[in-house]
Homo-oligomer: A and B are copies of this chain.
Amino acid sequence: MEEKLTQEQVLQMLADRKIAALREELSRLEGADVAELLQELPEEALARVYRILPKETAAEAFAEMSSDTQEQLIRSFTDRELHDVLQEMYVDDTVDMIEEMPASVARRILAQSTPENRRDINELLKYASDSAGGTMTTEYMRLRADMTVEQAFAVIRRDAYDKESVYTCYVTDDNRHLIGVIDVKTLLLSDKDARIADLMEPDVIYVTTSADREEVAHLFEKYNFIAIPVTDAEKRLVGIITFDDAMDVIHEENEEDFAKMAAMAPSDTPYLKTSVFALWKNRIPWLLLLMVTATFTGMIISSFESALAVNLALSAFIPMLMDTGGNSGSQASVTVIRGLSLGEIGWRDVPRVLWKELRVSILCGLTLSVVTFVKLLTLDRWLMGPDVTVAVAFSVALTLLVTVCCAKLIGCSLPILAKKLGFDPAVMASPFITTVVDAVSLLVYFSIAKAILGI
């Protein structure tokens, strides 16, 4: 791809008053690129450059900007300018924007929308933002079953301009009930006098407004649709969700899961643009919580102080046991969390999951135990001296086997339990599992050591 226009070049052209050239350069870019470029500009240059943009590029770029930049621009707009931008924007983008704005700005946006758009916006604002209703747009292409292909194309030509997606058309009856779906490709390949009723696909995959937006997004991964229709409880068509919105949902949900698995609050802002204070705020609650819960681990160790005093070599293996337990647990929990998130695992699968993890953990535990037993009596004995007796090695190896089994069973069951109780399974990931498994592995270790070493 060609070299991109940089922020410095834009500012230089602005300073040199090369306005026509700048307009020409900017109009050649995609909306997303213009948005990226403008967001980097100093505040006073932002509104100036924005006014240079051709109308269509301006609207495209505006829809792609962060809500902070949008707010800055709206505050600099006249009512007329705001009205023009809103005219060009798709309703679902407008709703997403309104949800991020302070009340006063939101009211101004509603006031400057056309009556028809205002009705659609208010309609969409009613739905929860993580539901299909809160993700859909009301601008879709609707046909009737008794139309001919030629009539259908006439409707598409008439209405296409302000529809987000025209390539999949929905067929409804007089009561707006969804009765079929037809692609523009099929229309193009059909005779112009053919009836839509004979060409359409009557078995439509659809979702209702209350469906979870993540589940809807996974339907796109499964079926490769450009859009999925959304209906109310009576199967009346009320909107569509397009593949690009589904991609956004998948992106957001994945980043949320990644953040939670690393014990952080999720954030929409790219890392380099997040302030130090915001990062601190996202990270410190979990660190504090996990630090405080580690008190239990400390109590377990200090209650076995006497055992540790008798054989100091025992403490050398605490980190290894805790880490291996934690890693085994995370493997199981992350596998199950992803399975839940992708809809591959459900509550009914609990017995299968437990049985599978039990067998895997015994295999993993045995492998690790044998390797560790040999390693302790050779390498570690050589490194740490005669304190590492056969009895110590056996205690450590046996602890590993039991710990790995416990860790994997805890790791696979907690996320499913969390989901059943209505929590997000992703918070049951590595850091949380590690804390639980730490306590378990120490209890197992000291109990086994006491029994075998007789201390």
A323 within 8 Å of B (CB atoms): yes
Asked whether A312 lies within 8 Å of B312 as measured between CB atoms, the reply is no
Asked whether A431 lies within 8 Å of B368 as measured between CB atoms, the reply is no
Interface of A is mostly: helix
Asked whether A28 lies within 8 Å of B316 as measured between CB atoms, the reply is no
Restricting to A342-387, which residues have a CB under 8 Å from any CB of B?
342, 344-345, 349, 352-353, 356, 359-360, 363-364, 367-368, 371-372, 375, 379-380, 383-384
A302 within 8 Å of B (CB atoms): yes
Closest B residue by C-beta to A251: B221
- What is the size, in residues, of chain A's interface with B at 8 Å between Cβ atoms? 115
Query: B247, B330, B380, B435: which contacts A298 (Cβ < 8 A)?
Result: B380
Asked whether B319 lies within 8 Å of A301 as measured between CB atoms, the reply is yes
A345: chain B residues at CB < 8 Å are 271-272
A367: chain B residues at CB < 8 Å are 280, 284, 288
Contact string against B for A residues 279-315, beta-carbon threshold 8 Å, 1 for contact and 0 otherwise: 1100110111011101101110110010011001101
Question: Distance in Å from the Cβ of A258 to the closest Cβ of chain B?
Answer: 5
Asked whether B308 lies within 8 Å of A264 as measured between CB atoms, the reply is no
A1: chain B residues at CB < 8 Å are 205-207
A16 within 8 Å of B (CB atoms): no
A positions within 8 Å CB-CB of B: 1, 28-30, 32, 153, 156-157, 160-161, 166-167, 184-185, 188-189, 203, 205-207, 220-224, 226, 243-244, 246-248, 250-251, 254-255, 257-259, 261-264, 270-272, 276-277, 279-280, 283-284, 286-288, 290-292, 294-295, 297-299, 301-302, 305, 308-309, 312-313, 315-320, 322-324, 326-328, 330-331, 333-336, 338-339, 342, 344-345, 349, 352-353, 356, 359-360, 363-364, 367-368, 371-372, 375, 379-380, 383-384, 430-431, 434-435, 438, 442
- Which 9 pairs between the two chains have the least Cβ-Cβ distance? A262-B334, A294-B320, A224-B244, A297-B319, A298-B316, A302-B316, A280-B363, A28-B203, A276-B359
